[in-house]
């Protein structure tokens, strides 16, 4: 084990080296600078798919900074701060619920809490305290005493940004359900009932169930991805499958507006499906499932994959694109599914890839399901009669490939 003082120097070196990589990429971009937190104008990298080197550098900085802080601070200090982390989510919920980012958009230079409170319908001193807590976490900024403005992070919470809906889910439903995590683990039957309740709630309210689509002779995936493929690769023949109401919405509302050419050229078919009780369109070259398997417990996943297997042809492939969890213990590189982070970082990048582990807990509490390791995906595929082919490391989400035996 490396002594603590050696770890500190090594972590600082990792941060320094990774920072140089990030700076070099930004210098080559069309806007050759790294935006500050006060900058609310979008940068080209904000919506770009980052290459592996840049992505790893950013994850190294995130993971090493968090590990460095945990190493040098008193353990009681770190523990208490993390125990109080729930209040960050509570404050973000307030910001989203009362559309504070939208209110502040009216005055880029900043707005006094008296005006913010009036426009948002919240007592001014209390909203000021919430915003001060968030500003200390780098959401919003206090430009002068009790005067707050948007910044690079808070602008993501505008109601026009779909991310605000995700923020509300995590800070409302997600946070409330995660409060019952210990009960779920202590009493499995209670947990199943609670998860079933949420599954039904999502089905019959405004939160749609998972989408499931197939691309004939190419790929299958979510509605947005289907459309992206149709626009980028006009030679593809696509089949989109989902629950009947979603298919009607796609066929009659979304695609005619967003991608009419694919309909006119007969490159897209719309087919309803109940993926537990019927197979998809048969003999597709690739069946692509993105963020579907993680919504379901193992037994249901095996049913879904079994239905897909029954539709496959000799040359068909199944591609499952989701987070692929890595363990936090270091193993020999030839035994690891993915490239491990450099020492002394945790091999899974720790805080640099914390999103997938947070989402795993969300899956436990909301749906009685889970994010999975590569080995767990392989086990599910084999239980459905599929042959594991390869794990692709293609970005934040991994890709697990199966074929017929």
84-171 and 274-403 share one fold:
no
**Nearest CA to 399 among 370, 369, 378, 368?**
378
The pair of three-digit structure tokens given for residue 39, joined into one six-digit string: 């900058």
Which entry of 77, 169, 198, 294 is annotated as an active-site residue? Answer: 294
Residue 51 is classified by DSSP as P
Check if the beta carbon of residue 345 is closer than 8 Å to that of residue 63. Answer: yes
Q: What are 310's two structure tokens?
A: 């029954």
Say whether pLDDT at 198 is over 70: no
How do residues 21-58 score in pLDDT, each as one tens digit? 999 999 998 889 899 999 999 898 888 878 889 999 99
What are 386's two structure tokens?
Answer: 């599929």
**368 Cβ neighbours under 8 A, 6+ residues apart:** 184, 191, 192, 194, 195, 196, 199, 297
For the chain, what are the domain ranges? 4-81, 84-171, 172-203, 274-403
| Angle subtended at Cα 249 by Cα 248 and Cα 254, rounded to the nearest 5 degrees | 130
Mean per-residue pLDDT for 227-247? 89
User: Which pLDDT score is estimated for 2?
Assistant: 54
Give the DSSP per-residue string, 49-90: PPPHHHHHHHHHHHHHHHHHHHHHS-HHHHHHHHHTTHHHHH
Q: 294 catalytic, yes or no?
A: yes
CATH class name, domain 274-403: alpha beta
Select, from the ranges 61-75, 170-184, 222-236, the one with the highest average predicted confidence (pLDDT): 61-75
CATH 1.10.10.10 fits 84-171, yes or no: yes
Reported pTM: 0.76
- Return the pLDDT at 188: 59
């Amino acid at each position: 084990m490396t002594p603590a003082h050696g770890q500190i120097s090594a972590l600082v070196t990792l941060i320094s080296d990774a920072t140089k990589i990030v700076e070099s990429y930004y210098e080559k971009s069309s806007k050759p600078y790294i935006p500050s937190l006060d900058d609310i104008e979008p940068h080209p990298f904000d919506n770009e798919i980052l290459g592996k080197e840049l992505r790893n550098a950013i994850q190294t900085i995130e993971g090493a900074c968090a590990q460095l802080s945990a190493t040098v601070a008193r353990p009681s200090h770190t523990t208490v701060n993390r125990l109080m982390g729930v209040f960050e989510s509570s404050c973000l919920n307030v910001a989203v619920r009362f559309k504070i980012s939208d209110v502040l958009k009216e005055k880029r230079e900043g707005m006094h809490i008296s005006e913010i409170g009036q426009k948002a319908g919240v007592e001014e001193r209390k909203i000021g305290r919430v915003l001060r807590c968030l500003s200390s976490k780098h959401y919003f900024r206090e430009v002068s005493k009790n005067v707050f403005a948007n910044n690079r992070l808070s602008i993501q919470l505008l109601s026009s940004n779909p991310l605000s809906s995700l923020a509300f889910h995590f800070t409302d439903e997600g946070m409330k359900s995660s409060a019952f995590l210990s009960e779920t683990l202590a009493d499995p039957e209670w947990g199943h009932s609670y998860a079933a309740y949420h599954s039904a709630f999502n089905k019959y309210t405004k939160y749609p169930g998972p989408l499931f689509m197939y691309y004939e002779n190419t790929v299958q995936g979510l509605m947005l991805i289907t459309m992206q493929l149709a626009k980028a690769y006009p030679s593809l023949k696509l089949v989109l499958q989902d629950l009947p109401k979603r298919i009607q919405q796609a066929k009659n509302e979304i695609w005619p507006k967003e991608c009419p050419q694919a309909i006119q050229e007969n490159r897209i078919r719309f087919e309803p499906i109940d993926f537990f009780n019927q197979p998809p369109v048969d003999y597709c070259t690739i069946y692509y499932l993105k963020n579907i398997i993680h919504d379901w417990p193992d037994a249901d996943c095996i049913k879904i994959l079994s239905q897909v297997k029954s539709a496959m042809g000799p040359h068909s492939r199944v591609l499952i694109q989701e987070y692929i969890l890595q363990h936090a213990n270091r193993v020999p590189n030839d035994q690891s599914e993915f490239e491990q982070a450099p020492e002394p970082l945790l091999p899974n990048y720790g805080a640099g890839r914390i999103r997938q582990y947070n989402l795993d807990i969300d899956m436990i509490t909301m749906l009685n399901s889970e994010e999975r390791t590569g080995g767990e995906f392989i086990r599910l595929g084999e239980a459905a009669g599929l042959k594991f082919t390869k794990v692709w490391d293609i970005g934040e989400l991994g890709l697990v490939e199966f074929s017929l035996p």
